[in-house]
Structure 1
Amino acid sequence: MNTNRASGWRRDGRSRLIIFEKTATIEFMKKRFYIGIDVGGTKIAAGLVSPQGAILLRNKTATPRKSQPKKTVEVIADAAAELIEEAGLGKNDIAGIGIGIPGLVDTRKGRVIVTPNMNLSGINLSQKLKKRLKTKIFLGNDVNVGLLGEKWKGAAKKAHDVVGLFLGTGLGGGIIVRDRLVTGFQGAAAEIGHMIVDPRGPRCTCGNKGCLEAYVGRWAIERDIRTELARKKKTSFTDFFRGKKRIKSKTLRQALKKKDPLVTAVMEKAARMLGLACVSLRHIFDPEVIVLGGGVIEACSDFILPYVKKAVARDPFFSHLKDCRVVASKLEDDAIILGGAALAQQELGREPAEEKFPSLILKGAKSIFIGTKEYDEDIYIRVDGKVKKRNRNLAMKKYGTLLKLGSVELKKVCKKKPQILVIGTGTRGLLRLTPDAKAYLKKQGITVKILSTSKAVMFYNLLRDKKKSLFLHLA
């Protein structure tokens, strides 16, 4: 892997070396990494993950349509191989790969039993990928794997007993008891969406009547909206609901925001049913946390969660015991990638690790998650792990721009005397150090890495056992 060094300044001699680079490699930090892969009906997303749960690199590609299984397997393998190559690693540096697949999965044999909208049913995916990638492969149902991710780094962090319900087109479920996924005899456990709540209820996609999914899945919500529309119920979204066009979650959110009477009534019915289901699940599993996720929750959590929380809190059976938290998922598209890495670690007998400092996850060019908190402006992290927002007035008052970083600001960043300072210069690398800033760093003997913001995040996440500080320009 090529590493381009900037033509910036460096000093040799007896003092400590200060180096500025435009790109970083992981080569100097080689260790046992993990890869998590989210195999969906439309896309395949993969990420290189550290043992502590930092997503260091990622890629995404379209899922092959109307092709032979061999082609889909190749695309999955290529996604992992590209991460290994881009990071400058060898296959021996990958401890294991965890993959989330929609549908039924034989986790013991690594075989896909049946999966919708893809051509992998009946394929021993673990065996085929292991032959190409020369490392251990572990499969799991995508919702189960995503819940593992939420337990490790998301909404259920540090909880030992968790129930997850994920409302997308249908309703997927996952259950964790004493830190382990409940997968059942054949890998088909935790199909919460297909619990029968009323045998006289509407027909479900699975063939049964009265499944929970047939009341709360997005397809069921859409069915009920169209039924009410046919009954001439009042709505200001008639144009959105006409024809056979799918009603998207964001449309439901817009209608709820405008207090549309038809949509509000349908969504209230679904939210109440979901709340009752959570009460029943609490009676069976007594979880610390119930995680609600999926596209419908992401779009409508402000409306749905209060109903579910109220139902769970009002249950008299648990009135003398600790509360069960009901929370929205946090990791979104990263859940299965992180869960895949967690699955691989668990199957290898290595419990997912925690780190002294929270992992940084960059979301686009102007937003970053540090732990569970999101920042959308320049920040810095001191040696003690404290996160501070940049004082914009300092740079604007002295330089008239945020694209210059001077010694006054650096003294705040380096207050605890780091061994190494990582500076992220933005997506286009526009942030510059002033001469007095360079002089300050030179005098302090601080090793510096100047990188694009995405590379700086990756580099900072990789540093272990170092007194490190970080400055990030988000733009």
Structure 2
Amino acid sequence: MEKYYIGIDVGGTNVRMGLVDEKNNILFEEKHKSQPIAHKLDEVVKDFVNKYKNDYHIVAISMGFPGLVDQETRAVIDTPNIRALEGNYLMKLEQELNIPIILGNDVNYLLMYDAEYFNINPKQSVLGFYLGTGFGNAIRIKDELYQGDNGAAGEIGHVPQYLNGINYNDKQSDLESYVSGFKLVEIHKKHFNQTPFERLFIDHFDSKEIQDYLHLLGFYIAAEITILDIATIILGGGVIMSEQFPREYLEKIVKRNLHAKVTVDKLKFYYAESQANSGILGATIYAKNYLSKNQK
């Protein structure tokens, strides 16, 4: 009997759901605005699954969230941008539908999709950096996503930085407060509001604000590459994929701040194409891998 999957990408703006076959073809899909349905996500998912479960052998529901989740309890623990998503409602939903629910981080799912899209060897380690509204990061070591002891690995946007000095008495400002889409909007509004936003990197490339932004981004990418010794890099997200973004310049910053020459020589950058359904397909790919490892 052919197997089918429900892939769900729970984003800050939209929730996208799809019924996907074994060959990663999306047969049916829906899109909802995230905020209005966040408090009743389980009901929306249930309605979608019930449309198809009698006609298709659905073996898993895979959901990617913009935050911290717990696969063991099926709890959505921390989604800072949409608190209404948090809670312990998914275990009950799993029991009602009698279909396994697999949870993960949305950026991890993007990495799974992009690595397959670029035909990167499944046994090869990969780092993904996604700079959009925030700054997300995913880590695949060989063929395993590394998610840490508590599922919070890769939160590069929340590591401390000290561009404007060190705060000795309180929590240090994090990287996302200086390198993110919302920071870029702030820079534009505060310093360059007479320039069209889509020309910010072009017309003000030499400014301190833009150079600080690019160098901080490059430094932290180089730091992770150095720590993990992984030379296959996927870059994506709305900021990096915009036409104005200086990709080659970022690569130069990263390369000149790496310690090992062998890493520089082997370094390869891939740029993720923006596709609305990549989260759905990434969720499906993750579900297949998860089931193959946990149902033996």
Asked if these proteins are the same fold (TM beyond 0.5), I'd say: yes
Change (3 A) 1:304 1:109: farther
For 2:226, what is the secondary structure of its paired residue?
helix
Separation in structure 1 between the aligned mates of residue 92 and residue 115 of structure 2, nearest angstrom: 29
Separation in structure 1 between the aligned mates of residue 172 and residue 164 of structure 2, nearest angstrom: 6
Pick one of 277, 282, 285 that aligns with 1:339. 282
- Summarize the alignment of residues 254-333 of structure 1 with structure 2, pairs less than 5 Å apart: 254-256=199-201, 259-261=202-204, 266-300=209-243, 303-315=245-257, 317-321=259-263, 322-330=265-273, 332-333=275-276
Query: Residue 179 of structure 2 aligns with which residue?
Result: 216
Matched, 1:161 2:161: no
Superposed structure 1 runs of 4+ greater than 4 Å apart: 154-159, 199-203, 262-265
Matched, 1:89 2:55: yes
What runs of 5+ residues in structure 1 fail to find an aligned partner? 1-29, 230-234, 238-250, 352-475
- Give per-residue Cα distances to partners, 1:1-47, cap 9 Å, x unaligned: xxxxxxxxxxxxxxxxxxxxxxxxxxxxx611122101123321112
- Summarize the alignment of residues 246-261 of structure 1 with structure 2, pairs less than 5 Å apart: 252-256=197-201, 259-261=202-204
Separation in structure 1 between the aligned mates of residue 87 and residue 102 of structure 2, nearest angstrom: 16
Pick one of 32, 35, 38 that aligns with 2:9. 38
Change (3 A) 1:332 1:271: farther
Give the deviation of 1:170 after TM superposition: 1.5
Q: Which has the higher contact order (CA 8 A, sep 6+)?
A: 2
Give the deviation of 1:164 after TM superposition: 1.3
The amino acid across from 1:136 in the alignment is P
Matched, 1:189 2:132: no
Give the deviation of 1:268 after TM superposition: 3.6
2:188, 2:197 within 8 Å by CA — same for their partners in 1? Answer: no
2:204, 2:210 within 8 Å by CA — same for their partners in 1? Answer: no
1:183, 1:190 within 8 Å by CA — same for their partners in 2? Answer: yes
Separation in structure 2 between the aligned mates of residue 273 and residue 198 of structure 1, nearest angstrom: 10
Give the deviation of 1:103 after TM superposition: 1.3
- Summarize the alignment of residues 172-183 of structure 1 with structure 2, pairs less than 5 Å apart: 172-183=136-147
Separation in structure 1 between the aligned mates of residue 152 and residue 293 of structure 2, nearest angstrom: 25
TM-score, normalization: structure 2? 0.85
- Give per-residue Cα distances to partners, 1:424-465, cap 9 Å, x unaligned: xxxxxxxxxxxxxxxxxxxxxxxxxxxxxxxxxxxxxxxxxx
For 2:241, what is the secondary structure of its paired residue?
helix
- Give per-residue Cα distances to partners, 1:75-122, cap 9 Å, x unaligned: 12223334x26xx723xx112121101111112322100213241212
2:188, 2:200 within 8 Å by CA — same for their partners in 1? Answer: no
Percent identical across equivalent pairs? 31
The amino acid across from 1:253 in the alignment is E
What runs of 5+ residues in structure 2 fail to find an aligned partner? none
For 1:31, what is the secondary structure of its paired residue?
coil
Separation in structure 2 between the aligned mates of residue 68 and residue 327 of structure 1, nearest angstrom: 33
2:38, 2:82 within 8 Å by CA — same for their partners in 1? Answer: no
Change (3 A) 1:170 1:64: closer
Q: Which has the larger radius of gyration?
A: 1
1:154, 1:330 within 8 Å by CA — same for their partners in 2? Answer: no
Change (3 A) 1:43 1:185: same
The amino acid across from 2:55 in the alignment is L
Separation in structure 1 between the aligned mates of residue 178 and residue 38 of structure 2, nearest angstrom: 35
TM-score, normalization: structure 1? 0.55
- Summarize the alignment of residues 92-241 of structure 1 with structure 2, pairs less than 5 Å apart: 93-115=57-79, 116-125=81-90, 127-154=91-118, 156=120, 158=122, 160-198=124-162, 200-201=164-165, 208-229=171-192, 236-237=194-195
Separation in structure 1 between the aligned mates of residue 228 and residue 290 of structure 2, nearest angstrom: 23
